[in-house]
Each structure stands twice: as C-alpha cells, then as structure tokens.
Amino acid sequence: MSMIRDLRDAVRPRPSLRKDGGSYDTTRDPSTPSAVVDCAVYRDGARIESREPLSPHEAMRQVQRDGGFVWIGLHEPTEAEFAGIASEFGLHPLAVEDAVQAHQRPKLERYDDSLFTVFKTIHYLEHDQLTPTSEVVETGEVMCFTGRDFFITVRHGGHGSLRALRHRLQDDPELLAKGPSAVLHAIADHVVDGYIAVADAVQDDIDEVETQVFSPGRKGTPRGRDAGQIYQLKREVLEFKRAVSPLLRPMQLLSERPMRLIDPDIQKYFRDVADHLARVQEQVLGFDELLNSILQANLAQASVAQNEDMRKITSWAAIIAVPTMVCGVYGMNFDYMPELRWKFGYPLVLGVTVGICLTIHRMLKRNGWL
C-alpha cells in the first residue's frame, strides 16, 4: 500500500485505535511537574521503545548515534521548563518566546535549521440553547518546531490533544518514515479538519438564530433577546476567523515553495490542506456577512414593532381626545351654554361622542393603525 494513497487516511480518525495503554500515552500526569507529555524516537517509521521514559537529551543522543528523528510533545511549558529543550535543539529565541507565552497569531517562520509553525485550534462548546452569553467556540494553540531530525509540539489550552493523532501515525510506518514533515502535515490536516467540523456546528447555530428572527407570531418573546444572541454569535465567529484567515498563507507557502525541511512527497499534500482551509475561510466570511444581515433584519423588525406601537398609542389618543374635548367644553362654568336645560341634551351629547369615537376607530382600523 503506497504512502500517497494512504496519506489522507492516516491522519483521519479510524474506527479502531490502539487501546493498550502503551508507553506513548500523551496524557499529562497531574502529579508530574514536567511539561513533557511524551518523548519518543522514531526510526524507519517505527517507534523505538525503551524501558524507561526518555529525556529530550537522551532521545537526541540516540538520534545522533543511530538516525531517525525525535518527537517531543509538551503542554503549557514554563520558560524554565522549555529552556533546556530550546538549548538542546538550537531553537531560535524569538520562536521560543512565542511558544512559551502563547496567544500568538497563526504563522510560519523559517529559521536556519528549523521551521516554526503556529496553529490555532478550535473546539465547539455544546449547548442546549443559544443565549446572549453562550460561548460557542473555545480556542487553543499548537506550536510546532520542525527540524531535520526533530519535531517538537507545544500545546496550549485544555483541548486539542495530539495523542490519537500520534497513535494513528504510529500505525502507518510508511508515512511516518518520511520524517518530521509528515508529522507537520498530519497536525495541519488534523487542525483544519477540526475547523470543518466546527464550521458545520456553527452553521446549525446560525440557522437556528435565523429561524427565530424570521419566525412569525412569536408572542411573548422579550425584545432584544435575538439581538443579544446574534451579537454573541458574531463575536464567536470573529474568534473563529482570527484562527482561520491568517493560516491560509502559511499553508500556501508550505504547498508551493520548496523547503529543504519538507519532504517533496509530503509537500504536495499541503495543497489539499490549503484547499480545505480556503473553503473554511469562505464559510466563516459568509457567516460574518450572514450574521450582519440577520442583525440588521432583527433591528429593522424591532423598529417596525416600535412604529406599530406608536401608531396604536396615537390612534387611541385620538379616540380619547373626542370625549375629553366634549367633557372639557361642558365642564366650563358658564351660565348660558347650548342645551344645558334641555331634557335630552345629556344623552344626545353622549351619543354624538360615542358615534364620533366609533367612526374614528373604524377609519384607523381600516388604515391599519389599530
């Protein structure tokens, strides 16, 4: 089975993964102060097992002696914890600073002997009902140092574990034999696949909000609730866009520009990642424009509702003005006023007042004011 035919399958979830609890479990032990969650040497696509966990220094010495490459995974290391690894592998100080501090923009930076890549991971937060305070997406970061004989991942955030991905790669020795560039592609593809899944979930939320805004006869719905939902969803889409848009250029560079640290057989597959990323970017931009339209429609509906209320208030004020005027006239203390002493004066005034009010009410109702 060729590497080219199986490359996409290798970085996709499979029905069955290793569940034997092997030595390459990347779950960080809470009782262990070290930020290193896994450190392993790979040679000819296979993991070199050892009785005791390898330190980065021991792994690098083993690679220099016997060949292969080392893959080190870290989770939220401190500056002190990362200093030794940075010195061991000759990482650039600027890249090290970015990896430790996190909150970086997705990017690709080339140094003399390594590539530094930043990915923003997106995790969709499940919720029963979207509210004006709902969090829809949560972001994390994965920083990757790619060298000739090493690959280092620094992960920030409580999600986005690479354990399953490492397992799948280890189950495909032919792919893993391509070296660190194969791991970089697998992580890029894994991250972008996460974007696609989140985009589909966000689309469902937008459809729900759109249905609520344009559903007729929603009596008893508090005004402003839809606007709050739309605004909150728009903020979450903006966070999504900040993760997706800056990453497109790095993926294009990895797919189009020859790089000595990227295997030529792997490089062509970055085009597939860039294509998927471009599609997600178009979706996210479409989400933003659609939410703008929905928000404007919601505000227009609120304005129309306010105008309808004002017309009703004005109509009833006009009707009430008739008896107010009549009562005001006959309430004046003059001795000589028409029909004051007439027996039928009172019922006549009442009848005329009611007749005028009913006529005004009918006219206003016919014109849609009531």
Look-up of token digits 């703008």: 292
Provide the pLDDT for residue 12: 44
User: Smallest Cα–Cα separation from 188: which of 126, 266, 125?
Assistant: 266
Check residue 44 and give left, alpha or beta (phi > 0: left; psi -120 to 50: alpha).
left
Encode pLDDT of 224-242 as tens digits. Answer: 557 778 888 888 899 899 9
User: Smallest Cα–Cα separation from 8: which of 257, 256, 273, 279?
Assistant: 273
Q: Give helix then strand counts, H and E, for the chain.
A: 12, 7
pLDDT, average across residues 16-32: 37
State yes or no: pLDDT of 6 exceeds 60.
Answer: no
Q: Residue 115 and residue 74: Cα distance in Å, rounded?
A: 17
pLDDT, average across residues 271-293: 92
Contacts 24+ apart (CB under 8 A), 27-34: 27/161, 27/163, 28/75, 34/81
Encode pLDDT of 38-61 as tens digits. Answer: 899 999 989 998 878 888 889 899
Residue burial 5-20, b: 16+ Cβ < 10 Å; e: rest: eebeebbeeeeeeeee
Encode pLDDT of 296-342 as tens digits. Answer: 888 777 777 777 778 888 888 888 888 888 887 777 766 667 767 77
State yes or no: pLDDT of 34 exceeds 70.
Answer: no
pTM exceeds cut of 0.85: no
State yes or no: pLDDT of 22 exceeds 50.
Answer: no
Look-up of token digits 């006869």: 217
Encode pLDDT of 246-275 as tens digits. Answer: 999 999 999 888 888 898 889 888 999 999
Encode pLDDT of 335-347 as tens digits. Answer: 667 767 777 777 8
Encode pLDDT of 91-122 as tens digits. Answer: 999 999 999 988 889 999 999 889 999 999 99
